[in-house]
Amino acid sequence: MYLTQISLANFRSHKSLTLSFDSGITCLLGNNGEGKTNVVEALYFLANQESHRVASNQPLINKDATVAKVSGNFNINDTNLQLEIELNQRKGNSFWLNKNPVKAKEALGVVQVVIFAPEDLEILRGDPSNRRYFLDQTATMLNPRVAGIRSDYERVLKQRNSLLKSASMLSGKAQQTAISTLDVWNERLIQLAAELILVRLNSLTNLMPFVNDYYQQIAPNNNFDFNYQPSWTELKLEQDINWIKIQLEQALSAAATEEIKRGVTLVGPHRDEVFFSLNQLPIKGYASHGETWSAALSLKLGVLHLLQSSINSNSTPILVLDDVFAELDDRRREQLMQIALGVEQTIITAAAEVDLPSNLAAKIYRFSGGEVVNG
């Protein structure tokens, strides 16, 4: 799988931009703020219907516009495919496959892009929400159906929190009446929560052997491991949905009084944590800056390998390396380039050629003044 052309209209800083690509390696060079990362963000958005940099679509639309559009042409197993997404401030996004309008779920997962960027360090050293998002996004890339589970869970969680908040402000019979409606929401919450937790566990179990292999290449004789820790039980979770549902039901029952008092859902995957470790020590708080970079890179390369080997993947995902080479030493740069050479297409962004590995054979686009000045 590789990108042959991408067109942006009112996306971020680009009011109009079209670039052509070949398989192999393409470099986008330019100082910060020149718009090169906006191009790879648009590519990632085409694949995953969300940005790797911001949580909402609003910042993706140029400040002088209300509508933005991203269009990509791809070669997938020698078949041409065009994917377009229109972002609109006033309504939901619109999608087209080969000029035919489709639903969001039909466009999701058609193209696969794995991006490694400085923001990925937050997976390991940031808040638990970063690790939960990484897991959920990885699971969705492996199986687009997970997007529906995530969306349904967030909707039920929002409704249940609203009910709990209302109940917390009532008393007596009025409060009991509000509480009595919780059972319906509990049942739905438990089902969706169990499904989401199970896909997270399965994703981690399948992913980590690849991640550990990549980390061993970078730092031999080191063990990269994980521990999925729910906030609502001290038990080690089993990969059995019925067992998980029973544990969730018990935890919800135990937390009922406190939830009503605080007016918020205290049980569920929205509060879970994943502890990543090197040689049995938590990466967060213990690993050096270099170790954290290597670990984050190994996570993303593990995702790339897992997608490539997945039954849901028909071809090699596109690899994007966004402004990461400046942080790597020469040995790690060369190791990363050897991996990139084994991928059908790699797109690299960098501030200057000096940040890139030596003797790199690549097509180069240079950005200056927010525009492409040559290519």
In a shared domain, residues 8 and 126: no
**What is the edge-to-edge ordering of all strands in the sheet holding 281-282?**
224-229, 273-278, 281-282
In a shared domain, residues 130 and 274: yes
The CA distances from residue 338 to 205, 334, 343, 354, in Å, are 26, 6, 9, 18
Is 303 among the domain residues?
A: no
Is 166 among the domain residues?
A: yes
Which residue is it, tokens 């466009």? 107
pLDDT at residue 290, as a whole number? 86
Bridge-partner residues for 322, per DSSP? 349
In a shared domain, residues 2 and 73: yes
What is the number of domains present in the chain? 2
In a shared domain, residues 245 and 192: yes
Kindly report whether the global pTM for this prediction surpasses the value 0.85.
yes
The CA distances from residue 357 to 285, 337, 352, in Å, are 31, 8, 11
In a shared domain, residues 181 and 51: no
For residue 98, the domain's CATH number is: 3.40.50.300
Half-sphere exposure for 148 (CA within 13 Å, toward CB)? 9
In a shared domain, residues 372 and 347: yes
Is 300 among the domain residues?
A: no
Which of residues 274, 289, 304 is at a domain's end? 289
In a shared domain, residues 277 and 318: no
**Which mean pLDDT values do the consecutive 10-residue runs of the chain (375 residues) have?**
96 95 94 91 95 89 94 94 95 95 94 93 95 95 94 96 90 82 92 97 95 87 91 90 96 94 95 94 92 92 90 77 85 80 91 82 88 79
What is the DSSP annotation of 125-180?
A: HS-HHHHHHHHHHHHHHH-TTHHHHHHHHHHHHHHHHHHHHHHHT--HHHHHHHHH
Q: Which amino acid is at 104?
A: A
pLDDT at residue 171, as a whole number? 86
* CA-based nearest residue to 268, from 326, 191, 320: 191
Longest Cα–Cα distance in the chain: 76
Is 342 among the domain residues?
A: yes
For residue 284, the domain's CATH number is: 1.20.1050.90
Is 57 among the domain residues?
A: yes
pLDDT at residue 113, as a whole number? 95
What is the DSSP annotation of 77-142?
A: TTEEEEEEEEEETTS--EEEETTEEE-HHHHTTSS-EEEE-GGGHHHHHS-HHHHHHHHHHHHHHH
Angle, helices 289-309 vs 182-218, to 10°: value is 110
* Domain carrying residue 154: 120-208+220-289
Is 304 among the domain residues?
A: no
In a shared domain, residues 192 and 325: no
DSSP conformation class of 230: -
In a shared domain, residues 194 and 134: yes
Residue 90 and residue 93: Cα distance in Å, rounded? 9
